[in-house]
Amino acid sequence: DKLVEQAVGGATVAQIFKEYSEEFFRENE
């Protein structure tokens, strides 16, 4: 999770879900 957060500029998982969707997060996990 931390690596994904760093990859998108330090956003939290919750922010990623809100802004990009869970699918985006899973693809970048």
Q: Tell me which residue has tokens 């999770």.
A: 1
Q: Domain map of the chain by residue range?
A: 1-29
pLDDT attached to residue 17: 74
Give me the count of residues in the chain: 29
Helical ranges in 1-29 per DSSP H: 2-7, 13-20, 22-27
**pTM of the complete model:** 0.33
pLDDT in tens, 1-29: 677 766 666 677 777 778 777 777 678 67
At 26, list the tokens. Answer: 């899973």
Give residue 3's Cα distance to chain centre: 9
* DSSP, res 1: -
